[in-house]
Amino acid sequence: MDGNGRWAASRGLSRSAGHRQGAQAVRRTVEAAPELDISTLTLFAFSADNWQRPPSEVGSLMFLLQKYLDNESRRMVENGVRLNVIGRRDRLQPAIARAIARTEEATAEGTGLLLRVAIDYSARQAIAAASQLPPRQDADPAEDFVRRLDRVTHALAGTPAVDLVIRTSGEQRVSDFLLWESAYAEFLFLPVLWPDFDRHHLEAAVADFRGRNRRFGRLQALAS
């Protein structure tokens, strides 16, 4: 979800206004995803590196996050959306951590869409932390590592690997996002700023993805 600040600056608005508009794009995307047969949607809301931003902006983002959780919880329940916040929680304000826990509990029965929101998240830090946990004996190493990775990020067990990564605002880098889970993901880089992202962009991205040939290291089958 990149480009909130640039969207606001181009209109002479504050960065906070851009983040608020970005929250509207979140709602549009969450509502459109199930209609496009998307079962799991992960949004990168706040990275571990974002703590380096000015305190006023961090505070605004955290306020917006708590407001979103409080305001959207009932809507998520009504629409069958299950929330799972991934990332660290020990550095969040207690009120925000409680809001996350309340919303996750309230939406736990949702089956229409698994909405994962990455907050205070770093894939490299998560991989490093998971590597320090003791492995299970006689377990498949890769499956056991995923279990440990889920544990340190608070991720739900059994979440499928990432199929498609969409990066907005024209940036063409991974930025420490789901490095393990995106091993075989397809990537799509869009020039649109996140506050302008809507159903049409998501629909076009899904159509592009479904037209790609995913071989996962295998040879493409020859037509008979």
How far lies 49's CA from each of 38, 65, 120, 186, in Å? 29, 17, 8, 24
In this structure, the number of other CB atoms found within 10 A of the CB of residue 205 comes to: 17
Question: Left, alpha or beta for 146 (phi > 0: left; psi -120 to 50: alpha)?
Answer: alpha
Q: Active-site residue among 4, 37, 49, 50?
A: 50
Residue in 26, 9, 115, 112 with CA at minimum distance from that of residue 67:
26
50 in catalytic set:
yes
8 Å CB contact between 69 and 95? no
Q: Active-site residue among 2, 4, 84, 120?
A: 2
208 in catalytic set:
no
For the annotated catalytic residues, the residue numbers are 2, 50
